[in-house]
Amino acid sequence: MGPKNKKEKYKKYVFWLGKDDFVRFRDETAQKGLPLHEAKKAVCVPLSKRVESGFVPPGAWDEYPLCKRQLSWYKGSPYFGLTLVVSSNELEGFGLRPQALIKERKFRPPRFPDREEKLKMRRQKAYQQARPAEWEDLSGEDPQIQERWLKVMGIRGMSYEELFITHCANHANFIDPRYYVVEEDGPVPYSIDKTTHICSACLEFFNIIGAQFKKKLVVPCPGAVLFAGMAPNRYYEVVQLS
């Protein structure tokens, strides 16, 4: 059984539930003795293979200092006020329908943008209209924390402001894509850099950004690697189910 479990491929189902539906789901899991992990800090924790089913309450998106600015996108999304549930199972027995499925995918991006192209992507009207003001307010963060982050990531010769250009362009590519592949269901946008240069990939994994596309190809950010054990520099396919 041990070797078989190790070979199991990554698969996670994403649900967004209103208050009543979540309370019913939580009570039913409790009655059946099924574990339900609450993410009290990093919202990406339920993406971990070790967490069979987890949830992120509405208040958690504003409580974790490390990701507070990044998660400001949640406030302006259609899911604001809803509870996120992420499970390794479809949860059909609970009368729930998953919105998306996250799974492993072998993919090699055909090309990445250069700095000038990233700046153009950041200036796109669709991105500018979608982004929350708090997201681009780097002045509200401790510069020492930003510098420490660059060192931990092994990024040298680059300021956080410079790295942030990629962060913005990457989200922009899931709003109005410039870098994508075309498959049977239409354009499939993909992350435009490696893990160390990506930020808040949970926004794409959880459909806060890019829900209009049938598929997305997403590279986990450092947080998803650290807190959820996702593989760095590997693409995961996010498929819309409803």
pLDDT of residue 45: 96
User: Tens digit of pLDDT for each residue in 139-180?
Assistant: 877 788 788 878 877 888 889 999 999 999 999 999 999 999
| 3 state DSSP class of 188 | strand
List CB contacts of 150: < 8 A, sequence separation 6 or more: 156, 158, 159, 160, 163
Q: What is the CA radius of gyration of the chain?
A: 18
The domain ranges of the chain are 2-103, 115-240
Identify which has the larger pLDDT, 98 or 3. Answer: 98
80: Cβ contacts below 8 Å, ≥ 6 apart: 58, 74
- The string of pLDDT tens digits covering residues 42-59 is 999 999 999 999 999 999
Cα dihedral 103, 174, 80, 12, rounded to 10, equals 0
Query: pTM of the prediction?
Result: 0.93
The answer on pLDDT for 3 being more than 70 is no
Question: What pLDDT was estimated at residue 2?
Answer: 41
- Count the neighbouring beta carbons within 10 Å of the beta carbon of residue 193: 19
Mean pLDDT of the chain: 93
The per-residue pLDDT for 6 is 54
Position 66 scores a pLDDT of 80
The proportion of the chain whose per-residue pLDDT surpasses 90, expressed as a percent, equals 83
